[in-house]
Structures are given as structure tokens and as C-alpha cells.
Structure 1
């Protein structure tokens, strides 16, 4: 990602490693090419490396985001391998970096903070045309790791691409999008400058000359280049068709339709919601100013009270005796006053930050998300009706039938596509209003909670989609929890019933056991095994009717180990005797 200003490595790492009061936002955090073992120590190490380079004027931090398709769940080892290959492909294989996996959106993604200064050579590395390199790397890794195919090179460029991004992320219809959906066909049918200006007037638009080209201006002064609508609408192409440009001289009449910055058309009616949104945005600035003034006034009063308290303390110290004692007490009073003022200033900064977050400007999609988190069902339905919203994929559960409302699960977050992320023990469950998705790291307890949630919210007839391993875990979780559900798939339902009946039979056998009596068909305990077989190996055997007679055990020869020891001892004695004989001869 490129930013206009120079980024701060410490601030970036604090952001990507911050849980933001969300239990399942932050995944694995990895330190690479760092000598430190903690995040804070690694940040200090990177800052020291960046400080060693005094010649580089460019940004010394590289922020890379690796995002996957919605609903795609990747193994931890695969994520590490993908990160390593991407960084090596960009030339950052030996550079220090800190990465963190985020799970708080519909798309699993990795934030990678890379130090562009080499840790040993202390020179800066700037990747050459990284977008092309990243596109090629992603295409190769999608094939190697079996990931979903995606488009890595933009099909739109310039203003058209930015307008599409605005519609997708903010949810507000852009001028380019409105023209293409409402009146582009009429504009194409114009055969002269007069007809073209007439079409523009009918739609509340105006074609003007600006610089060396043409722009299309709407009523609220929103403007786009005419060539953005298509190559045939550039000034040179239009003049080749209609002759030199002729400005519109006619009086502007009331248009048949006009562009307004309204939400992108959805499957649900959002008129009332958008009216509330506009009203809050108009009053947000005034409310923020009033809240900031109040916070500033409270801060000044607290500082004034702290100073009065310090003044009274110094007056009391003045009445004491002893020069050295007064000096110590005055120092303590000064330190206490400074600490009080620092605490007041810190509290004021926190209040200002909270005010900016509460009364700050929000996009339409962000406002819907906030309202949905506060329990507004209409806002949640509007989020799910957006064009960008898609159904969950992967390991999913879908319920049908009569819902059985039960306990209310804890909501961890809601994405801009209307997906609710619930807390389910150590795992997370996602709900898009139609089905539930269980995270890959979920244990049996998490799957049981997901099954209960699907039964309570959608019905007891459960449809399971996903890998065979996930289906087997779902069957076992349903049988272990004795949940009153049934699977839509006949094969899964038979396996669930067989497993449930088997566990019931096993529990009945366990209850029928008597103390000290082993069940029939099971082997005896180890202390009672092989008793008769060991009698034949005993040294003394007593037979009835032959009391007093002890059979003589058969003679036993030396063992193999004893024979080897004797042979080795004889060889050593022979060598010793030979050395002694040679010594006498000398």
C-alpha cells in the first residue's frame, strides 16, 4: 500500500497486532528475520535498523496486505509459506518483517509490515513495478496451493476504478456509475453537439470544456472526464464526428432525472435509513464541536482543582519546621501535582479520541454496520442486500424447518457485507442470514455450539456442506451432544443414528456393570493374565501325591554372554603374557 506521508513502523505494527476488543480479530503473529522474540522488542530492533540509514529519503516501511477470496479458509502452514514466497518475490526475503492474520472481515487477510532497510547492508530496497510481480506470484500460488482463482490485474483504470471502489466500500452511487446505468445509451445515440447537449440537459448534466479535454458536470458540481465514459467520448473523437466543440447556449430547464449521492440500489428499501444517516451526518459536526468544548472545559476545571490542591499542600508545608524536611516535602508536592496534571491530560486525550470516533464522519456502509451492531435489523438487512455481499462457502451449516429460539450468542463483529461473527468458545461462527460457517480451527465444542445455533435460528433439519472430515466431526458432535436434529442428507443421518444408538448401548452396558465383575467378552486385567502358562517355567513344581519329592532341575550350561566373556578374557590374558615375554627377551 502506498501512502502520501511517510508511515510509522511502530504505529503500523500496533494497528495490525491490536485486537480492538474483538476476540477473533487477531490470528497468528509472526516475526521474521528478527533477533527479538517479542513484538515490542522486534519493533525497537527495526527502528534501530531504519535509524542506521541516514541517506534514504523515501518511506522506509512497506505495508503489504494479502487477502483471500470470501469464505476461503487456509491452513496456518500454507499462510506462512505464501507470505514467505511473496516477500521473496518482491526482494524482501532477508528483510525484517512482522505479520499478523486478521479474521474480522469476510475475507481472510494477512497484514505484513516490512522494513525496506536491509538489516546488514543498511541500504533501502524499492520493488520495481510490484503490482505486476504480485499478480504473477498470486497466479502461480493459486495453482500450487489449490486456492480460488481471482483477477489480479485491474480491468478498470483511473477515475472509473476509483468510482467502482467508492460504490463497493462506501455504498454510495458514483456519478460515472449513474451515467452508465441511466443515460449512457441515450448519449451514444446523439448525432450532433446540439443533440448531445439536449441529452445532457434532460439528465441534469452539462458538457464543458476544461483544459485540453471535456468534462461532464452534474448539478452538485460533481464532475468526471468525458473520456471516462468511453474512448468514443474523448474530445478528439467527438470533434472528429461533430466538428469543433460547441458550448451549450440553451437555457437550463428542469431535468427529467438528476444525479444524487444516494445509496446504490439494493433489494430492500433504504429510504428511511438513508434519511436518518443524512440527518446524523449533518448534525455530526455540531455535536462533535459541542462535545469537544465540553471535554476541554472539564479538563481545565480538573487542572484548576489540581493546582488549588497543590497550593493548599504547599501552604501546609510552609507551616512545618526544618529546612531539609520542607525541601523534601516541596519536592513531593511538585511531583504529585505534575503526576495529577499528566493523568488529566491523558484522560482528556482519551476523551477526544472517543468523541472523534463517535461523532466523526462515516460512510453509508460504516453507518449501517454501526447500527447493525446496535441491534438494528433493517440496517443488517441493508448490509446483506448489497451487491458486494455473497453467500458463505466452505464448511457451512444450513438449517430448515421451525426455528427454536434459545440463548442469544455473543456477537464479536459484523462485517460490511452483513456477516455476523459470533463467539463460540475458542472458535468463531459466521452467519450471513442463510447459513453458518464454522472456522477451520474449531473444536468439537465449537461445532456443537454451531449446530445448536443453526437449530435455534433456522430449524432442526440441517444441511452440511464442506470436507468429509468436517462432516464426520459434525456427525460426532451431534451424537455426543444428543442434539434433537436431523440431517438433510440420508447418508449422514444414518451415520448419526448409528453412532447415537451405539453410544446409548455402550452407556447401558456401563451402567449394568457390578463392582469387581469384569464384563463378558472382555480380556481380564493384566494382573490376572497368563497365570497357568507361567507354572511350566517355575523352578520348583509341587504335584499332589508326591509330597516331599523335589525334582532335580536339569543341568544348565553357560549362557552365550558368559561364553563370550570367557573368550574375551582368554584373549586378553594371551596378549598380556606375550608382552611380558617380549619384555624379558629385550
Structure 2
């Protein structure tokens, strides 16, 4: 697991803007990124339950701290690829995190987001204590250190894989301990990965980041460097350069700047100067190898064509945007010149004794020209909107693969499930996939498969192709949006239509959801290991229904029946 503290990107923002923006993003991330969504949310320390009321509560408490401009901390906890925490585990993780930071009683809003292979949890915590109204500094200001301790406790309590360079771990005696610095350094060098944001970008594009290229090709050169000139020359052979910037230094892969410490701890300027002496720039002109885009893994299908299509798309968009800006600048200048000429023509000359008429003329002319400016601005805004519609964001690699009608659609699934197992329903026979009417979903043939989309997303299907909920492949159905209970129910209904009975494969959380739906709707799931769970859930539902019926039929006491008359 990884934890990060997200700094306030706009320190001049008001408390209302800061709190409102954070809570809106946590609960509705699709407003900023259509591919991201909140799959589970919760809160602590509030008197009310609705998001709007909790936002008002947090702002009201924050306003009590008149000397503090920003009273909230924003943290992000990420699980490794393929790890799927349950809702109960999310709540437990929040409890452990708040306890380690000493913020148990504080207002907290959290949301689990899904937009990559790595699930991540956003937490917003109000540091104002609800009773003392003091602004608390977690762990005396060293809150990120306490956050790393919390991560170690969560990993230990819930059995998650530990990061190779994690700061803390739970020892056999139950206490927290730090790994030996040398051991941690060796592990970090062997296992170092780009940061989470960069890995998310790589997942979307299939392209190695500049940081990954520097780690793979530059770290060994940094560790073995013996003098500055050899160091510069060896980096140049890999398309990398090292430059002093102010009191520090930066690594460059092409024109992309990278912090040396994100590649290797020994890459910082102070560390290198201790080994190699005072910094020396290259004496001779370096022949820096030019590096093009590189795929994350070998044999990615049609990846070179994807890169060319993406580059062509953004080249065309940038050219169209530049041409539009030049045309709009010329139109603004032309209007300004025309209006100035008109003002000079009408208002020059003698207006002696006609002051009232001059003022009236100025007023009429100002209103007329303001309307002309507003009309031009509205036209420009409409043209910019049309340009954005014409050049929508280029699809991610997986989405692009699904759009290729001539290719095998399985290629997108191979990429999607390269690190995780698919959430799948399997039948005993191969039923040729044909579009069917399934609840609130629209079916669309894609090669030899049928892709099902939410009907409200139907207008985006042709343009984006990335909002697939589940896919009928004939003998199996893959569920992409498996955290959505309505989506899983629709896929199970389709399976019942096709096969009657079937098996399910996937992670424990997905299977648990299928067990609940099977007990509730009578689906016939053949997995032997799930039969006990389905039967127990059926009995629980029957008991709940019986109790509800009994509660409705029990006569109310006389004083209850007569109340309010």
C-alpha cells in the first residue's frame, strides 16, 4: 500500500472553496474525470448524513479556527494492482488511519475511487477538534510519518502486500519497526517504481513514462558513476542528461524533467558531489540519443499504430486550436479598430452647448459597442466549444483497442486483465452472442462479441467506446463494471436467459455480490463452494421478510392507534 498527502493546489482559495471542492470531487469524481468514479463512500464525526449537510458542518467548524486559512488535510491511500478491499475493510482502514494520526473524533469524509488497476481511497480530515476548537497538528506536524505507520498497521491487519520500500512494518511482538536503512535502500533500488500518478498514466496509454525510462536505464549508471564526464556520456547514450539547476539538479529524458531522487536516492546533487567531487558540466558536445515512445511491455497489440493515431489527433487539435486563436485575435483587433474609428467619427467635432446630447450619444454608442463585443465573445465561445467537440480527448489504449472493428476484440481484454483476473460468468455451451434487451442497457455488436452499455451513455458509444459495462463472448460474459450492483444483476439476468445455470469466476467481493443476488433473484449458480453461502443468504432473506410481515400484522396498542386524533 502507498499513502500520499495531497497539498492544497490553491492556497489562496477560501475555506468554502477548499472544502466544497474536495468533498464534491471525492463523492463525484466523474465531474472532473469521466473515467473515474466513487464506488464506496463514508464519513465520521458528523451530526447529519447528507453530503450537503456534512459539507456545511465541516465549513462551520472550520470557520471557528479564525487564525487558520486551511484546516483540512487530504490523503490518498492506494492498494496494489489486483487488491480489492471490501467495504468493511475500507471502514476498518479509515479507523486505523485516524487512530494512528490521533484524529479519531475529527470530521472525516472518504471515498474509494476506481479509474485504474489500483483502487485508491481519498480522505479529507478536518483538523479542528469538534469540542476544543483547536487546530490539531497530527504527530506534532510529522503527519506523513504517522501515515506510513498507519499503512503498516492496515497491511498487517488485513493481509495486503507490503511495498518493498515501505518505511514501517509490524514486528512479531506487534510493535512497529523500521527496516534497516541499507536493506530498504537495496530493496528500493531493485523494486523502485514510478509514483502512483505516473503509473496511472502508463496504464491509460500503455507507454513507458520518462520516469520509468530514467529508472530502468539511468539508475545503474548513477550507482556506478566514477567521474562526471563519463557519467554525462553514459547517460547521453541512453537519451538522458543531468543538469545543475540552482542549488540542485534535474534529470531530463528528452525535454521531460524528472527529480533525480525519484530515480535513485544516490542521484541527488549532494550525493553525487560527495562521490564525484564538485559538479562539472559536459566538456565536449554530447550526442544525446533521441528516444521515441516505448511500450510498457513487449508485444502490445497495434501499439505503434495507437501512438501514431494519438500523435496525429493531438497534432491536428493543436494546429486547429492555434489557427482558431489567431483568427479570434484578429477578429477582436478588427472590432476594436472599427469601434474606435466609429467613436472618433461620431464624437469628434464641436459639441459646445450640446452636453446632454453628447452624453446621450456616448451612452447609446457604449451600449451598442458592448453588445457587439458580447456577440463576438459568444461566437468565439461557441467556436471553441465546437472545436472541443470535434477533438475530444483521445481514447485510452484499452478503449482504442475496443474501437478497432477489424481487430480481435479479445486484445482489449488481454490488456485489461494482464495483472488481474476477470470477473466472469461462464456457461456450459457456446451460445452465439446476439444483442438482447437487458434492463437499462444498450447492446452493440463488436466483431464476434456483444458489448452492453448503460443507456444514458449510448450517445457517447460511437465517439468514445470506453463505457462498456459487460461483454457477451458466447460461452462467457466478462463484467467490466463489476463494482456496480445493477450491472452485475443485468449480466446475471443475461446469463439466465442464455444458459439457465452457470458458474462465476472472480475475486471474493464480486463472488459475494453474486451470492446475494442469486439468493434474492433465484439465479442458479453452479459453484460448489458458493452453495452454502447462497442457502444461508436465502434463509436470512426469508427471515427478514417474515419479520417484516409479522411487524405489519401485529395490532398496534390502543394509545398508539388513537394518537393524533
* TM-score (normalizing by structure 2): 0.55
Distance 1:100 1:210 in 2: 39
Unaligned runs of 5+ in 2: 1-5, 168-183, 332-373, 436-442, 444-450, 536-565
Which residue of the other structure, out of 492, 507, 511, is the alignment partner of 1:448? 492
User: Superposed, which structure 2 residues align to 1:330-341 within 5 Å?
Assistant: none
8 Å Cα contact 2:402/2:465 also seen in 1:
no
Which residue of the other structure, out of 27, 47, 69, is the alignment partner of 2:59? 47
- 1:23 deviates by 12
- 1:273 deviates by 1.3
Distance 1:221 1:130 in 2: 31
Residues 365-399 of structure 1 show CA distances to partners (whole Å, capped at 9, x for unaligned) of: x6436646867787988876769951237x75457
User: Superposed, which structure 2 residues align to 1:212-227 within 5 Å?
Assistant: 220=255, 222=257, 225=260
Which residue in 1 is equivalent to 2:136?
125
Q: Does 1:368 align with 2:368?
A: no
Which residue in 1 is equivalent to 2:98?
87
Q: Does 1:258 align with 2:286?
A: no
Residues 241-261 of structure 1 show CA distances to partners (whole Å, capped at 9, x for unaligned) of: 7x77665444545x6x43345
Which residue in 1 is equivalent to 2:310?
277
Which residue of the other structure, out of 25, 29, 36, is the alignment partner of 1:15? 25
Distance 1:379 1:129 in 2: 52
Distance 1:379 1:90, change over 3 A: farther
Distance 1:27 1:401, change over 3 A: same
Q: Does 1:139 align with 2:159?
A: no
Residues 280-304 of structure 1 show CA distances to partners (whole Å, capped at 9, x for unaligned) of: 2233344446778999999xxxxxx
Distance 1:117 1:379 in 2: 56
8 Å Cα contact 1:71/1:107 also seen in 2:
yes
Distance 1:467 1:221 in 2: 41
Distance 1:133 1:9, change over 3 A: same
Residues 143-169 of structure 1 show CA distances to partners (whole Å, capped at 9, x for unaligned) of: 43x4433328377899x9795546412
8 Å Cα contact 1:24/1:103 also seen in 2:
yes
Distance 1:347 1:131, change over 3 A: farther
Which residue of the other structure, out of 56, 71, 95, is the alignment partner of 2:68? 56
Which residue in 1 is equivalent to 2:420?
391
- 1:211 deviates by 5.5
Distance 1:4 1:402, change over 3 A: same
Residues 182-215 of structure 1 show CA distances to partners (whole Å, capped at 9, x for unaligned) of: 4766787777666555534544555555556776
Distance 1:45 1:345 in 2: 40
Unaligned runs of 5+ in 1: 299-341, 500-586
Distance 1:192 1:34, change over 3 A: closer
- 1:35 deviates by 2.9
Q: Secondary structure at the match of 1:410?
A: strand
Residues 301-328 of structure 1 show CA distances to partners (whole Å, capped at 9, x for unaligned) of: xxxxxxxxxxxxxxxxxxxxxxxxxxxx
- 1:274 deviates by 1.0
- 1:475 deviates by 12
Which residue in 1 is equivalent to 2:432?
404
User: Superposed, which structure 2 residues align to 1:255-334 within 5 Å?
Assistant: 257-260=289-292, 262-268=294-300, 269-288=302-321
Distance 1:250 1:380, change over 3 A: farther
Distance 2:284 2:154 in 1: 58
Distance 1:221 1:131 in 2: 28
Alpha-carbon RMSD across the aligned residues, in angstroms, is 5.9
Residues 484-527 of structure 1 show CA distances to partners (whole Å, capped at 9, x for unaligned) of: xx97x8x689x9xxx9xxxxxxxxxxxxxxxxxxxxxxxxxxxx
**Bigger Rg, structure 1 or 2:** 1
Which residue of the other structure, out of 134, 155, 168, is the alignment partner of 2:199? 168
Q: Secondary structure at the match of 1:173?
A: coil
The number of residues matched between the two structures is: 428
Q: Secondary structure at the match of 1:54?
A: coil
Distance 1:205 1:286, change over 3 A: closer
8 Å Cα contact 1:368/1:382 also seen in 2:
no
Distance 1:133 1:423, change over 3 A: same
Distance 1:32 1:234 in 2: 44
8 Å Cα contact 1:65/1:110 also seen in 2:
yes
User: Superposed, which structure 2 residues align to 1:236-247 within 5 Å?
Assistant: 247=281
Which residue in 2 is equivalent to 1:178?
213
Distance 1:52 1:447, change over 3 A: same
Q: Does 1:38 align with 2:50?
A: yes
Which residue in 2 is equivalent to 1:564?
none
